[in-house]
Structure 1
Amino acid sequence: MGTTEPVRGDLADDRHLLGRTSTAERVADILRTRIAEGYFPPGERLSEEAIGRALGVSRNTLREAFRLLTHERLLVHQLNRGVFVRMLAVEDVEDIYRIRQLVECAVVQGLGDPPYPLDALDAAVAGGERSARERDWQGVSTANIHFHSELVALAGSARTDELMRGVLAELRLAFHVVDDPRALHDPYLVRNREIVEALRAGERTEAERLLSAYLDDSRARLVAAYGDRVAEERW
């Protein structure tokens, strides 16, 4: 008798998000979120049977969702082996930060006159600070992802939001490979707060300067840590 394969992160809890019209796009959105939140780490094989059962969707629907996420570079299909969460190259990480610089800084630069709706940014910063006090560095990472998602959401563009969801989910793949998430995320909690306070004061140019420096430093730190880790795995 076969054993029932578990699904990490209680994926069945997301079943209600499918609503009445279960579509591949909605399944892909759930899996994309789960990847971004760290429930499926790089290199993990995704079980069609377990995920399909948890979400209550057909194999064809699930395969279409896998195809969409493969197109977004979050998954890879290996012949005769199955579908796996993708492992990034160092060059991928550098390219992701180029995109982030272009998009995030442009959003801040393009904001209209203050005041700006900052409640969601405040909540993301507070969530990261709370996780840090609890030494929950995975929670800090997730809060940081939420912070940048909400920052881009200030543009009020569904297309930009969709772009950043994919970019930040892909970036999270790199975070999972690095051994010391505290060193990776803790230094930026204060800087998130500084960006919010600059926006609260209506200092859009200063907020953009802080954000650009933040992204430069984050890219350098992650590329160095990630490159070292990938080199170790090759040995």
Structure 2
Amino acid sequence: MGTTEPETDHAGGLGELAGDRALLGRTSTAERVADILRTRIAEGYFQPGERLSEDSIGKALGISRNTLRESFRLLTHERLLVHQLNRGVFVRMLAVQDVVDIYRTRQLVECAVVHDLGDPPYALDPLDEAVSGGEQSARELDWKGVSTANIHFHRELVALAGSARTDELMRSVLAELRLAFHVVDDPRRLHQPYLVRNRAILEALRAGDRTGAERLLARYLDDSRAQMVETYAHLVARDDVL
């Protein structure tokens, strides 16, 4: 997939981004700006391959150029943005190998968290909310909402470890994965089959069956990786031809 050269015109939508100024408060920092941009990238407001305009974003958020550039640097470190010399900053477009590596990391982390859980009961309310949210979004045919709920499910699953470092790692890994989700043509086909599998993992944990939950999760991630890699590789090949 080639990098999109022109900036997308967000003239109408930048007012929405300007509404995020309130989140900055009086202690505007690059970290807070990065949080806002990270969320907007995760939501698909800024698409993979899109060039980010310093002037437009800086004016919308009411921040200095230096603050914005520092937030860009932070998100580049998180592999969400890429700086191209003499061209600017772009939302990163993943390669197929990136997708493979993301799933390898997920398998190592998520399965280890479930394997190392202590004795039940577990604090499953956040997981339950994520599963129910995904099911509700599916009933409304909101596949973007299903994708978001699925990401929340896996973040809350990892949160069972009670490790701030692991939480931070997974936030970054899952945010990067969403860059691939945004370019998929058929999000329903990608996300719908995993709703029932999220529910099955949740119920296994609720029953105190940690081993069963780990087995379900490992199979889930294997199948999801195979599907995502096949889908993404097809998209890359198609766009290279175009």
Does the pair score TM above 0.5?
yes
Q: Write the distance in 1 (CA, Å) between the matches of 2:15 and 2:192.
A: 24
Structure 1 residues 13, 155: CA separation in 2 closer, same or farther (over 3 Å shift)?
farther
Residue number in structure 1 paired with 2:5:
none
Structure 1 residues 103, 192: CA separation in 2 closer, same or farther (over 3 Å shift)?
same
Q: Does 1:188 align with 2:172?
A: no
Identity percentage of aligned residues:
79
> In the alignment, residue 102 of structure 2 is paired with which amino acid?
I
Structure 1 residues 76, 174: CA separation in 2 closer, same or farther (over 3 Å shift)?
same
Residue number in structure 1 paired with 2:95:
89
Residue number in structure 1 paired with 2:129:
123
> Residues 8 and 39 of structure 1 are in contact (CA less than 8 Å); yes or no, is this contact kept in structure 2?
no
From 115, 139, 158, the counterpart of 2:145: 139
* Misfit runs of 4+, over 3 Å: 3-9
Aligned length: 233
Give the CA deviation at 1:25.
1.5
Residue number in structure 1 paired with 2:223:
217
Structure 1 residues 12, 112: CA separation in 2 closer, same or farther (over 3 Å shift)?
farther
Secondary structure of 1:10's counterpart equals helix
Q: Does 1:57 align with 2:63?
A: yes
Q: Write the distance in 1 (CA, Å) between the matches of 2:164 and 2:35.
A: 14
Give the CA deviation at 1:68.
1.0
Q: Write the distance in 1 (CA, Å) between the matches of 2:12 and 2:72.
A: 19
Q: Write the distance in 2 (CA, Å) between the matches of 1:233 and 1:32.
A: 26
Secondary structure of 2:94's counterpart equals coil
Residue number in structure 2 paired with 1:230:
236
Residue number in structure 2 paired with 1:175:
181
User: Please, what TM-score do these two structures have when normalized by structure 1?
Assistant: 0.94
Q: Write the distance in 1 (CA, Å) between the matches of 2:225 and 2:194.
A: 12
List alignment gaps of at least 5 residues for structure 1.
Answer: none
List alignment gaps of at least 5 residues for structure 2.
Answer: 1-8
> Residues 51 and 91 of structure 2 are in contact (CA less than 8 Å); yes or no, is this contact kept in structure 1?
yes
Q: Write the distance in 1 (CA, Å) between the matches of 2:208 and 2:195.
A: 20
Q: Does 1:108 align with 2:119?
A: no
Deviations for 1:27-53, whole angstroms, at most 9, x for unmatched residues?
A: 112211222222221011112122222
Q: Write the distance in 2 (CA, Å) between the matches of 1:112 and 1:14.
A: 40
Q: Write the distance in 2 (CA, Å) between the matches of 1:202 and 1:222.
A: 30
Give the CA deviation at 1:23.
1.3
Deviations for 1:198-231, whole angstroms, at most 9, x for unmatched residues?
A: 1111111111111110000000000000000110
> Residues 107 and 155 of structure 1 are in contact (CA less than 8 Å); yes or no, is this contact kept in structure 2?
yes
User: Please, what TM-score do these two structures have when normalized by structure 2?
Assistant: 0.91
1:3-18 to 2 correspondences below 5 Å: 5-7=11-13, 10-18=16-24
Deviations for 1:111-149, whole angstroms, at most 9, x for unmatched residues?
A: 111111111111111111111111111111111111111
Q: Write the distance in 2 (CA, Å) between the matches of 1:95 and 1:203.
A: 29
Q: Write the distance in 1 (CA, Å) between the matches of 2:173 and 2:89.
A: 20
Deviations for 1:77-96, whole angstroms, at most 9, x for unmatched residues?
A: 12222211010000000000
> Residues 48 and 59 of structure 1 are in contact (CA less than 8 Å); yes or no, is this contact kept in structure 2?
yes
Structure 1 residues 6, 65: CA separation in 2 closer, same or farther (over 3 Å shift)?
farther
RMSD: 1.7
From 16, 25, 37, the counterpart of 1:19: 25
